[in-house]
Homo-oligomer: A and B are copies of this chain.
């Protein structure tokens, strides 16, 4: 997509006079995404425990699916035959597919990586798989997401500087090859800025990628164990080097307070498994009390809602005592009810942040979350 198209694709409606926060609209082939946005994670073409209709009701307008997992099972050919990922999972709004780089480089059975690509073994059946930047773009074109990203090579924390530089330069080169390979005009292609926690590498990556016409920019390789000050330092030095007229996506972050901090740094898009994963493990979010371990005996006769301030169906219809019972009895409904609430909670935080930006009161809103 050309820079001209990209400029029209993302409209900044308001910027905070006191912070880097901004409210915008990102136009995709499956509707508008109002930013700041939280994208629930639907790794295997389902946001765990929720129906597409529930995600719609909650206000989700973009979800994230995983290229690596869907390539291995059920395979992009099947999904293409099903009419694409949207039809396969019956989700009418936008989808972002990540590249699979994070998953591939998390594998123990990683076989080989060089400038050409990466060879690894499937975690499902041990078969040898080969990913190149071009192959990963082709997979994502077959899946048909609205927003796609290039194959990249994340490094963990702490990272050896030479390894981090090699991976950053390779990821940048792979991003350019992806831009060249990408053909579907109805998909937005984002780049991923790397460089671990080395400021000069982050700057080099941001500059190299900002010079090319990507439709948006991801901040990758963060939230991998580094101290929080390092995370925000990397965000703070990267964001100003990216084009102001493109969306910025901080991958894999985080808790609600961190999302609000990210917004203050000028981040537009977020994804994280926390609201869904924690829900399955018994943890619910509440505005005044923070995270609640709903399995705890303290809630056994607590007949108040998970979050008394929350209007979601879980909080309107069910008590903490009932949720605790469901967890203790290992009932599926526990995961359903609390996942709904947690995703609703995240999206309400994003909505409130957006309204504050539009109203010119975001700095005050941020204070309330510190």
Interface residues of A (CB under 8 A from B): 44-46, 48-53, 69, 73-74, 78, 81-83, 88-90, 300-301, 303, 313, 317-319, 321-322, 324-326, 328-329, 331-333, 335-337
Contact = CB atoms under 8 A, between A and B. Distances in A.
Contacts of A90: 317-318, 322
A54 to B, nearest CB: 10
Contact of A322 (B89, B303, B332): B89
A51 B328 contact: no
Contacts of A83: 303
Contacts of A89: 322
Contact of A51 (B46, B329, B336): B336
Nearest to A324: B74
A52 B316 CA distance: 13
Contact of A50 (B301, B321, B333): B333
A44 B78 contact: no
Given A82-B321, A322-B88, A44 B332 contact: no
Contact of A332 (B78, B313, B329, B336): B336
Contacts of A88: 319, 321-322, 325
A257 to B, nearest CB: 28
18 contacts: A46-B326, A46-B329, A48-B332, A50-B333, A51-B336, A73-B329, A74-B324, A74-B325, A78-B301, A78-B321, A82-B303, A82-B319, A83-B303, A89-B322, A90-B318, A90-B322, A332-B332, A332-B336
